[in-house]
Amino acid sequence: MIISFCVAQSAAVARVGVLRCSEAAHRSSSPDPRSLRPPLSYTDQFADRANEPITLTPIGWVRSPYTERFGTPRQPVVETQVLGGGAQLAEIELAPEMEHTLRGLDGFDFCWVISHMHLNTNWRRLVKPPRGDGTRRGVFATRAPHRPSQLALSALRIESVDEAALRIRVRGCDLLDGTPVLDVKPYVPYADAFPDARAGWIDELDGQPDGPDDLEYWPPPAHLSKPDT
């Protein structure tokens, strides 16, 4: 009886093996129809749309201590000669219709904030950066806030995420209070970090890239220093 059972069991296993091999052979001889999909020229149908005006609605707003350009960091990492003498806390407040959109963001250390610099009304093709030898650079070779599209891109450190209140608390904000926010994306090191990349004329600056702006007078106003403790 035991021998018969073992033989039957072996036969069943063999049949399953044969069936699986047969299925694999069938799959290899009959590829999924999706594998035969030809390339498409989808974008050709909408080529005319590329020149149409773009209308964007804010998804939220910046709540920061910065109420004027002077004293606002030119980049989030700049902590010298800025309001309060260091990186300040700020919040990204999302609109009520953005519920559930922050789920999972608390697992990231940084986020990208794309915003609209709504107070800027003009721009120039050549600008003089706040640091350097005074050479004018093309606006697209600088981080100048006055730009044709009025868009800003900021990498901000996440302190906390309140999904229910639709608020992201960040540190190192470089945006004025009330700035409209257009999008928030997680900062992903494998895709966003290039530590060995060249930085053009910035590599030629004296001192550290995140150093203070060049002032034409001294000392700077008292509110740009750390308060006495």
Specify if 29 maps to a domain.
no
Distance of CA 120 to CAs 53, 69, 97, 123, 168, Å? Answer: 19, 11, 27, 8, 25
Tokens 């209070």 sit on residue? 177
Strands 110-116 and 180-186: antiparallel
Q: What pLDDT does 174 receive?
A: 93
Specify if 214 maps to a domain.
no
Give the total number of structural domains in the chain. Answer: 1
Q: Do residues 84 and 137 touch, judged by C-beta distance below 8 A?
A: no
Q: CATH code at 106?
A: 2.40.30.70
Specify if 41 maps to a domain.
no
pLDDT in tens, the chain (229 residues): 444 544 445 555 455 455 565 555 555 578 888 888 898 888 888 888 889 999 999 999 999 999 998 888 888 887 777 787 778 899 999 999 999 999 999 999 999 999 999 999 899 999 998 888 889 999 999 999 999 999 999 999 999 999 999 999 999 999 999 999 999 999 999 999 999 999 999 999 887 777 776 676 677 787 777 776 5
Q: What pLDDT does 2 receive?
A: 44
Specify if 158 maps to a domain.
yes
Q: What pLDDT does 226 receive?
A: 74
Spatial CB neighbours of 112, under 8 Å, sequence gap ≥ 6: 153, 154, 155, 156, 183, 184, 185, 186, 187, 192
Specify if 37 maps to a domain.
no
Note down the domain range covering 109.
60-190+219-224
Q: What pLDDT does 3 receive?
A: 44
- What is the per-residue DSSP string for 158-215? EEEEETTTTEEEEES--S-TTPEEEEEEE--HHHH--TT---GGGGGSSS-TTSPPPP
Spatial CB neighbours of 88, under 8 Å, sequence gap ≥ 6: 64, 65, 66, 82, 171, 172, 173
Q: What pLDDT does 13 receive?
A: 46
